[in-house]
């Protein structure tokens, strides 16, 4: 990794990154390949297995609802696991172990996912991989304190998302090749070749690009190990929740705001292909639009990284939230692929920045030695919000409504989130605040 770092040091957007920051950014490049696959080809493969007339098969509408409920189930599991695992990882030497375990489970499960013969096993394996992936992000986000300084958090966090979007394109293009080759195969093997190849190349890329961080990460901020760690972790989480509600009002109101506005972000990411298929759009056209969206997200994440050096985090977050609110309202008019592409362009403009700025803002207002625990709680609000959004999609579809209405309703979450963010911004900084937001 050092050779790669030295080769890229001083070039383009990598100029000024330290070796630890560079290794941290690379994990976003690795895991984003799975994100891209899971929000594009995976729902297509699921519906190909699930929709049919035989026993145990589903209608197209019910398949969309089942998929949304499955994604919602993941968010509940991760929300329950996140704080406990995060609190345990705050102990000296533990974060790297938890991170490594979640990555290996995710990569291994991703490879196996391609071999699933039926939709139920396919969905179960995918949900297990999604849980491992989500847990790895809890540990990864909490590493931000260990690899950079508070003054650089906005920019480094944005670089992670930016290069994650661009880096995910390479394995995704290879997965598309397998997807395109599928119809040329014979019989039942046609779909399986596509799935096996797509999942395998994504898993290998995920692992390969993660190796530098696995090798070089060192936990800087930590608490000392204590007896009965699990019981202690539960007591610690309870105390932290009480402190956030009663004392750390800035953290409390930000988490409420984050819970609401990130709902729309996660829901749109998880259901972007379902939006197009429910509108009867070309599958190839949808995938090409999503691929182009990755490039748009890359460009605008770098733009917001540069803007973060001159503008406050809250101001930039406000721009992103308002942008997403407009996207949701525009979704009410969607009818064809061109309109779908325009909506995707709008999503790409703000998608990476709203996530990276939220991550860095939260890092600045929490105590660094408890970053794992706090990011476990952060993940509850993040994944809990996605649960509500997926629930909205499922409820509207089961009630016979359109996907346009379901996405349009998410505008209410963005509006409420914006109001609460402004409330949080007016509250004094916590005692451990080191840099101006």
pLDDT digits (tens, 9 = 90+) for 94-113: 888 889 999 999 999 999 99
What percent of the chain lies above the pLDDT cut of 90? 17
Q: How far apart are CA 225 and CA 94, in angstroms?
A: 9
- State the alpha helices, DSSP H only, in 308-402: 313-331, 337-364, 371-398
DSSP E strand stretches across 162-308: none
Q: How far apart are CA 24 and CA 18, in angstroms?
A: 10
Domains of the chain: 17-425 (1.20.1250.20)
Burial class (CB in 10 A: 0-12, 13-18, 19+), 218: exposed
pLDDT digits (tens, 9 = 90+) for 277-329: 777 777 778 878 878 887 888 888 888 888 888 888 899 999 999 999 999 99
Report pTM. Answer: 0.71
Given a cut of 50, the residues of the chain with pLDDT beneath it are 1, 5-10, 12, 186-188, 433-437
**Residue 124 CB-half CA count within 13 A:** 7
Report in angstroms the alpha-carbon separations of 18 from 106, 123, 310: 28, 40, 21
pLDDT digits (tens, 9 = 90+) for 367-404: 776 776 677 778 777 765 566 777 787 788 777 777 78
């Amino acid at each position: 990794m050092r050779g790669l770092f030295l080769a890229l040091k001083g070039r383009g957007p990598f100029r000024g990154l330290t070796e630890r920051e560079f290794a941290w950014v690379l994990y976003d490049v690795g895991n984003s390949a799975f994100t891209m696959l899971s929000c594009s080809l995976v729902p297509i493969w699921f519906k190909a297995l699930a929709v049919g007339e035989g026993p145990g098969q589903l209608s197209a509408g019910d398949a969309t609802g089942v998929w949304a409920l499955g994604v919602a189930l993941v968010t509940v599991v991760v929300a329950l696991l996140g704080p406990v695992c995060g609190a345990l990882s705050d102990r000296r030497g533990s974060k790297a172990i938890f991170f490594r375990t979640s990555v290996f489970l995710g990569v291994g499960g991703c490879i196996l996912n391609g071999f699933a013969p039926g939709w139920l096993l396919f969905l179960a394996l995918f949900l297990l991989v999604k849980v491992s992936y989500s847990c790895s992000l809890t540990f990864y986000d909490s590493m931000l304190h260990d690899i950079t300084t508070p003054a650089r958090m906005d920019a480094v966090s944005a670089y992670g998302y930016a290069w994650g979007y661009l880096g995910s394109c390479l394995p995704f293009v290879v997965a598309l090749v397998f997807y395109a080759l599928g119809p040329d195969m014979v019989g039942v093997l046609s779909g399986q070749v596509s799935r096996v190849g797509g999942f395998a190349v994504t898993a290998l890329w995920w692992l390969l690009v993660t190796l530098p961080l696995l090798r070089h990460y060192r936990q800087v901020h930590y608490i000392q190990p204590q007896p009965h760690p699990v019981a202690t972790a539960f007591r610690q989480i309870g105390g932290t929740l009480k402190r956030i509600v009663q004392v750390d009002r800035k953290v409390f109101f930000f988490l409420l705001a984050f819970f609401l506005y990130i709902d729309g972000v996660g829901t749109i990411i998880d259901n972007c292909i379902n939006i197009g298929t429910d509108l009867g759009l070309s599958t190839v056209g949808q995938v090409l639009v999503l691929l182009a969206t990755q490039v748009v997200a890359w460009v605008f994440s770098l733009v917001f990284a540069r803007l973060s050096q001159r503008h406050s985090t809250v101001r930039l977050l406000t721009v992103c939230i308002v942008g997403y609110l407009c996207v949701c309202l525009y979704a009410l008019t969607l009818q064809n692929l061109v309109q779908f592409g325009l909506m995707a362009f709008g999503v790409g403009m703000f998608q990476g920045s709203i996530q990276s700025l939220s991550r860095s803002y939260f890092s600045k207002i929490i105590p660094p030695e408890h970053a794992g625990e706090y990011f476990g709680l952060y993940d509850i609000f993040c994944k809990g919000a996605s649960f509500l959004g997926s629930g909205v999609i499922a409820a509207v579809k089961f009630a016979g409504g359109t996907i346009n209405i379901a996405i349009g309703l998410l505008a209410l979450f963005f509006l409420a989130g914006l109001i609460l963010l402004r409330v949080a911004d007016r509250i004094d900084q916590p005692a451990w605040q080191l840099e101006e937001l």
